[in-house]
Amino acid sequence: MAQHLSGPPSLEGQVALITGGAGGMGRAIANTFRDAGARVIATDIAEHADIGASIQYRRYDVTSRAQTDRVIDEVLTEHGAIDILVLCAGIIARTPLGDSTDEEWDAIMSVNVRGVVNPTRKLFPLMCERGFGKILAAGSIAAKNGGVASGPAYVSAKAAVHGMMRWVAKAGAPHGVYANVLAPGPVETAMWSNVTGNVAPSANATVPLGRYGNADDIAQAALFLCSPASNWITGTSLDISGGMWMD
Ligand SMILES: NC(=O)c1ccc[n+]([C@@H]2O[C@H](COP(=O)([O-])OP(=O)(O)OC[C@H]3O[C@@H](n4cnc5c(N)ncnc54)[C@H](O)[C@@H]3O)[C@@H](O)[C@H]2O)c1
């Protein structure tokens, strides 16, 4: 007979590694997961050590396979296992196609795609061996609607993330390893203010629910997708967009 879950989603006893952990969403997810009982290791390229109480911080660059492997090995040595991997590191550009340079494409692809590939490539086989893991990557509404304030490199990179997580979900399912994608609309973090220059169009005019998202909106969805509450969900992308995208 199935056991019924009750109470708020719990991550008690689990170890979560988060990339982009010094950013708006990553930091909110780290604190939310800590509050749900997880041991949290936040990573980022930023020189930021203070993500929140009891949250470990490790600085590294997700575009480097060597750095990724080293940091994950260190965390595994210290904590024994990593149950949850959340991939939030990202950068954006809004340059239109004709003006975009090779350098910009390389940079966007490197952080947003390689930065998802590197930690997943290292951890996925280990999770499969253990028979459990939850992987959650930050995709975007941009992968579905062609971009809100983003250029083609960012849109393409996020579409790649959505595709890759579907592959991981399919390959991981027989081994108890889940992979899902968050597809946020505009969320008021540093990324959004950098790209709009603090002159974003009125949310009333563009978002059915009448406001842009905040980092906690994303963190609650991340908690659901990394907790036992979502144990029959894999390979999905969850739209968190105030109704801007519906499918
Ligand atoms: N804010 C939005 O509107 C929005 C919407 C949809 C999707 N997203 C995606 O959500 C994720 C989190 O975005 P956010 O809004 O919190 O942005 P943010 O800019 O606040 O955080 C991104 C973090 O990634 C880190 N980072 C960048 N390059 C890195 C590298 N090479 N190695 C390690 N860390 C690196 C940054 O230092 C930063 O802390 C991103 O992948 C973003 O593309 C954001």
Q: Residue 75 maps to which CATH number?
A: 3.40.50.720
- For residue 200, the model assigns a pLDDT of 74
Would you say how long the chain is, in residues? Answer: 247
From the list 15, 138, 114, 131, the residue with the least C-alpha distance to 66 is: 114
Question: Measured in angstroms, how far is the CA atom of residue 191 from the centroid of ligand 1?
Answer: 6
Quote the domain boundaries for residue 232: 15-240
Asked, for residue 147, whether it belongs to a domain, the answer is yes
Residue 6 in any domain: the answer is: no
pLDDT of 194: 86
* Ligand 1 mutation pick, 91, 136, 155, max ligand atoms within 8 A of CB: 91
- Closest protein CA for atom 11 of ligand 1: 88
In a domain, 8, yes or no: no
Q: Which of 57, 60, 154, 178 is catalytic?
A: 154
Distances (CA, A) of 39 to 57, 86, 92, 150, 154: 12, 13, 29, 34, 31
Distance from residue 4's CA to the centre of ligand 1 (Å): 35
State pTM to two decimals: 0.97
**What pLDDT does 1 receive?**
53
Q: At what angle do helices 215-226 and 24-35 cross, to 10 degrees?
A: 50
**pLDDT score of 53:** 97
Contact 170, 215 (CB under 8 A): no
Which residue is associated with the tokens 């597809």? Answer: 183
Number of domains in the chain: 1
Predicted pLDDT of residue 18:
98
- On whether residue 10 sits in a domain, the answer given is no
Task: Give per-residue pLDDT as tens, 131-172.
Answer: 999 999 999 999 999 998 899 999 999 999 999 999 999 999
Strand partners, 84: 16, 134
Cα 234 to Cα 46, 61, 134, 205, 228, distances in angstroms: 31, 28, 9, 33, 12
Q: Would you say residue 67 lies in a domain? A: yes
Active site residue 154: yes
3-class DSSP assignment, residue 194: helix
Cα 149 from chain centre: 19
Q: Which runs of consecutive H residues, i.e. helices, occur in 132-227?
A: 142-145, 152-172, 190-196, 203-206, 215-226
* Confidence at residue 7, expressed as pLDDT on a 0 to 100 scale: 86
Hey, is 117 helix, strand or coil? helix
As averages over each run of 10 residues, the pLDDT of the chain (247 residues) reads 79 98 98 98 91 97 98 98 98 96 98 98 98 98 94 98 98 98 96 82 91 97 98 98 96
Whether 191 lines ligand 1, by a CB cut-off of 6 Å, is yes
